[in-house]
Structure 1
Amino acid sequence: MSAQMPPLLQDAGVPFDLFIQSLTEQLDKAQAAMAIKARLGKLPLTFAVKEVSLDLRAFVQLLDEDVYVRPAGPGESEASSIRLQLTTITKPMIEENAVDFSAEDPKFSLREALGDQINEDERRSLERIGVRTVQQLNELKKQAGTDVIARLSRMPVSRLQQALMRAAAPRVTRVENAADGRDQGRVHLSAPGLRPGLLPLVRAAGVAVPVVAVEEDGVVLAPLATQLGCEAEVDFGDGQVARVELREGRIGQWSAP
């Protein structure tokens, strides 16, 4: 490699994902150039790249959980053989198979919701198994259970249970002011710990807060104007009690038994 390159790239090569992105980016440029040439020159026929096959001799190593590849130089016979085949894919196929990167509300991100319950390495371990949001973590808990998540993410069961408990705490997702003839506002409370057929008992400022509707994994409250902004006690039954401020974006905390 060139001596002008950073020492890390000279020794370790380039990240594998960056290598793939560079290949596809140059193919995209070639395709765009051919499209311009065909349109401006009004060519009835031109060529296109259908598939690209590459056989590489390279060294592969893992650095900080990233895979690096370094092409073999002259006389380096111990390099691995890597065979790559690039083919075409349409936009609908990309959207169907790609990860959904729709932004989660930062107030309820995995980092914000779990706080110091998990460290950065553990958060990345969850991301490796596809868990990037609190909603995904709660859904996976319902479908697979704590033991499966702990085994796949290689997290200690005790720490994972604490993180799951924190993720299941109630959260205020939206607050609506009194309108449309209503004399009371509405508080949308996300409650992953809500059990089917059992509504939580909610109290704020010493007065009960009515539950007026049930949503997916949550409820809608109709607090008095004097209760908005107050800390509410949410009793899910069986000793599960949480406290959350009736203000948009607030994340609740479980009360000590």
Structure 2
Amino acid sequence: MNPGIPPLVQDSGVPFDMFIQALTEQLDKAQAAMALKARVGKLPLTFAVKEVSLDLRAFIQMVDDDVFVRPAGPGDAEASTIKLALTTITKPMIEENAIDFQPEDPKFSLREALGDSKESEDMQRRLERIGVRNVQQLTELRKTAGTDVIARLARLPVNRLQQALLSAAAPRVTDVESRTEAGNGGVVSASNRVHLTSPLLRTGRLPLVRAAGEAVPVVEASDGRMVLAPLAMQLGCEAEIDFGDGEVGHVALAAGSVGRMRDDGRRS
């Protein structure tokens, strides 16, 4: 036992992804050093590493859903053999295949939709394993594959996933504005603007909105956002938003209001 190595590493090893990252980081340093030598020394010919192959004898185990690798020591006859073959990849190939790391809108984040709990963290990890990293992806996947398929692939209870989907798609009021405008002849008129968000909102498709028995005009609708122009009597009232395709939400036209979705096409 090496006293300089943390006990967890001695017992369980290191996460497999960290091992790969450390290995490729060392290769990056070697490549940078060779490039520097060629530039400074102005060498007409030098050498580079094309591929690296490793046969690693190690023990594999799971710790909190992560794969850990612990290298075998002398006399560890029961260790497995991991064969690694590293090759080169160009920058365009990385950009083509890498995950899009654009900042995520917190209103449409999985954590916001699922809630802040131990159970929700586990659910988020399971969804990320099948490639679902934000609410937009979850919403689109539900339309194309269905809740049952997502639940089966992510190994989640269908009812818990359905609740998360409804919570994620629910409309939310982000701002309420009251404007006073002077018209012809000095007539002063007041207008209201209600800003809403929902991943179900799409550019070019205007949802139908009603509140207090009257239609609510939609001033603007784009991906994830919408602006309404309700009458004064409609402010504070619950609005019904028909997104199309059977998707209907309800939300009070008041600042900070979080709405709900109609469950499974039934009246809420």
- Shorter-chain TM-score above 0.5: yes
Q: What is the DSSP-based 3-state SS (H/G/I as helix, E as strand, rest coil) of the residue aligned with 1:124?
A: helix
2:165 matched to which residue of 1?
Answer: 164
In the superposition, relative to structure 1, how do residues 216 and 167 fare at CA in structure 2: closer, same or farther (>3 Å)? same
SS for the counterpart of 2:144 is helix
Deviation at 1:119, TM superposition (A): 2.1
Q: State the SS of the aligned residue for 2:115.
A: helix
Answer yes or no: is the 8 Å Cα contact 1:176–1:185 preserved in 2: yes
1:66-77 → structure 2 map (5 Å cutoff): 66-77=66-77
Instruction: Say which SS state the counterpart of residue 31 (structure 2) adopts.
Output: helix
Aligned partners of 2:27 and 2:169: how far apart in 1? 45
Deviation at 1:108, TM superposition (A): 2.5
Out of 140-149 and 236-245, give the one that drifted further. 236-245
- Displacement of 1:80 in angstroms is 0.7
The structural deviation recorded for 1:189 is 3.7
Given the alignment of the two structures, is residue 9 of structure 1 paired with residue 17 of structure 2, yes or no? no
Partners of 2:66 and 2:164 lie apart in 1 by 25
Deviations 1:137-188 (A, max 9, x none): 101101100100110111111111111111121135788997xx9x765735
Equivalent in the alignment of 1:221: 228
Conserved 8 A contact 1:213-1:221: yes
Find the partner of 1:203 among 208, 211, 217.
Answer: 211
Distance 1:239 1:190, change over 3 A: closer
Q: Distance in 1 between matches of 2:192 and 2:120?
A: 41
| Counterpart in the other structure of 1:131 | 132
In structure 2, what is the Cα distance between the partners aligned to 1:197 and 1:42?
Answer: 61
The offset of 1:213, in angstroms, is: 4.2
Q: Distance in 1 between matches of 2:46 and 2:178?
A: 62
Residue 212 of structure 1 aligns with an amino acid whose one-letter code is: V
Percentage identity across aligned positions? 63
1: CA distance between counterparts of 2:178 and 2:84? 57
Q: 1:34 to 1:172 in 2, by over 3 A?
A: farther
Q: TM-score, normalised by structure 1?
A: 0.82
Partner SS, residue 119 of structure 1: helix
Q: How does 1:1-257 map to 2 (within 5 A)?
A: 2-115=2-115, 119-172=120-173, 185=193, 187=195, 189-190=197-198, 192=200, 199-203=207-211, 208-216=215-223, 219-223=226-230, 230=236, 232-236=238-242, 240-245=248-253, 247=255, 251-254=258-261, 257=268
- Find the aligned partners of 1:176 and 1:202 in 2 and give their Cα distance: 19
Q: What displacement does 1:210 show? A: 0.9
1:35 CA displacement: 1.3
Q: Which residue of 1 aligns with 2:188?
A: none
Q: Kindly tell me the number of residue pairs found equivalent between the two proteins.
A: 252
Mapped partners of 2:247, 2:20: distance in 1: 52
Structure 1 vs Structure 2 CA RMSD = 3.5
2:89 partner SS: coil
Q: Give the partner amino acid of 2:216.
A: V
Residue 45 to residue 160, structure 1, CA distance change in 2 (3 Å): same
Using the size of structure 2 for normalisation, the TM-score is: 0.79
Question: What is the CA deviation profile of residues 69-113 of structure 1, one whole-angstrom value per residue up to 9, with x for unaligned ones?
Answer: 111111111111110011110111111111122121123311112
Distance 1:20 1:173, change over 3 A: farther
Q: Is the 8 A contact 1:72 1:79 kept in 2?
A: yes
Q: Residues 201 and 223 of structure 2 are in contact (CA less than 8 Å); yes or no, is this contact kept in structure 1?
A: no
Separation of aligned partners in 2, 1:184 and 1:197: 22
Distance 1:111 1:144, change over 3 A: same
Unpaired stretches in structure 2, ≥5 consecutive residues: 183-190
Contact 1:172 1:190 in 2 (8 A): no
| Cα separation, 1, equivalents of 2:20 and 2:247 | 52
Partner-residue secondary structure (3-state), 1:5: coil
